[in-house]
Structures are given as structure tokens and as C-alpha cells.
Homo-oligomer: A and B are copies of this chain.
Amino acid sequence: MRAVHSFLVPGIPPLGDTVTLPADEAAHASRVLRLTAGAVVGLFDGRGGACTAVIASTNRSGSEVTVRVDGPRDAAREPRVAVTVVHAVLKGDKMDDVVRDAVMMGAAAIQPIVTARSETSLAAVARGQRVDRWRRIAVASTKQCGRAVVPAVFDARALDDDTAWLGGPHTPNPRLLLVEPGTALPARTPREVAEPPAGAASIMVGPEGGWTPEELDALVPVTVPMTLGHRTLRADRAGTVALAALQAVWSDQ
């Protein structure tokens, strides 16, 4: 059985021991959800550990909540293939949904990128503290979908001529580059992408306006172009569709 509400703690103590919820989780439990002593909750450590617990005490202001570990809990199983979603920052607050949905779809990590046609800049992303916001959304989505692993949201970076960083550990191979319907590139369908034996992959999703020809020139040699079919998909749905398609093909839901 899944506890109705779950809370992120840095570490789960042994059965019968108590732990104090972090301040924001305590405030959520006591002030928003109005949970009191005796309520059954779930705990997860963000790295795969999960348990059920019972609220042992709350102080009057709701700033301090202690919970006692009660028993084991099955969190949602993680996919076999750890997929990093490398996603161009979209307009407005669309990245909020992108991050939320990528977590729900089991993404292992999210790497926001600023591309030539992203209508924003790295400076604007930093000024708006948007990566912090996406990290909070990742935690909230982890709870909603029942995972016990909080995917990392990496600091945003620019996609420029230097694609050497794509060889780094944040963007594992194969790097599947989503391209538009009707592309002249030799693009694979999800059915033509075998499950990576190394258990990791990246999906790269461009902004509303797509990749520029220069970006494609730089990316194609270090990626595998992939098409999701004949219809033009909205940029804020393409990552979800790609994950759903690949996981279905790989029987990795």
C-alpha cells in the first residue's frame, strides 16, 4: 500500500527510530496538510530508500515534526535504462511542466540547455533562480508519481559550438536527438533504437523553434537523430512522447 503523503528526508533511520522532517517538509505536513500525531505517512530519501512512518509529534507552530519509522514501503520501481533528458529551455513557465512530466516518466536526470532559438539566456535563467524552482518541482513530482529517487536537475548550460561537454557523464550515450517530421536527416524511429546495454541514454529536445542548421551540424556527429513520426509535436510534449515510446519498446515501464 502506498502512503497518501510522503516526505523527503536526508536519511531513513532504522525501524522504530524517529527522525525530524526538514523545515519545508515539516511546514507542508503540519500547516498545509494539517497532519497530526498518529498520521501514517511515507518517507523517502531521494536515492531510492523508502519506508512508512507515523507522525510522532508536532510542535504548536508546526515548524517541527518528528516521525517514527514504521515499516517497509515499495516505491515505484526505477526504469532499467537511466535516461537523461537534455531539454532546451522553453518559453514562459513551460519548463515547469517539462520537468514535472520528465520525473513522472522516470527520467534519471534533467539537463536544461539554452539554444540559439531558446527565447531566454543563461543569465536570465540564473537571475530567475529557475533551476532551483525546477529542483523543487522535481521533488514534488517524485512524490506525486510514487518514486523514491529524485532526479537531478543539473545547472543550465549553453548549447554552443563546443559540444565537447556532450561527451561528459551528464549526457550518456546513445544521445537521441529529437528531430522534426520531414527532416532530411537519416532519423531512427523509437522501434529502431535498441535498449542500450550500458543501461543509460540521453534524449535531446529542442525549443519551440527547433534546432538551427548550425546546431544540427554540430550535434549530428555526436548523436543519433530520432523521429517521433509524421505529426509536429509541441516542444513541451516531445520529451514525454519520446520516453513513453522508448520505454514501451524496451518493456521498461
A245-B247, A245-B248, A253-B189 given as contacts; is B144 within 8 A of A104 (CB)? no
A101 at the interface (CB under 8 A from B): yes
A2 at the interface (CB under 8 A from B): yes
CB distance from A51 to the nearest CB of B (A): 17
> Is A47 positioned at the interface, with any CB of B under 8 Å from its CB?
no
A234 proximal to B (CB < 8 A): yes
Chain B proximity mask over A88-118: 1 for CB below 8 Å, otherwise 0: 0000000000000100111000000000000
Q: Who on chain B is nearest to A182 by CB?
A: B2
- Taken residue by residue from 171 to 212, chain A's Cβ proximity to chain B (1 for < 8 Å, 0 otherwise) reads as 000000000011000000111000000000000000000000
Contacts of A191 in B (CB 8 A): 248-249, 251
Question: Is A147 an interface residue, CB under 8 A from the partner?
Answer: yes
What is the bound-complex CA distance between A147 and B233, given in angstroms?
11
| Residue ranges of A at the interface with B (Cβ–Cβ < 8 Å) | 2, 76-77, 101, 104-106, 144-147, 181-182, 189-191, 227-234, 237, 240-242, 244-249, 251, 253
11 A-B pairs whose Cβ atoms sit less than 8 Å apart in the complex = A77-B230, A105-B231, A146-B231, A189-B251, A227-B253, A228-B244, A240-B244, A242-B244, A245-B247, A245-B248, A246-B248
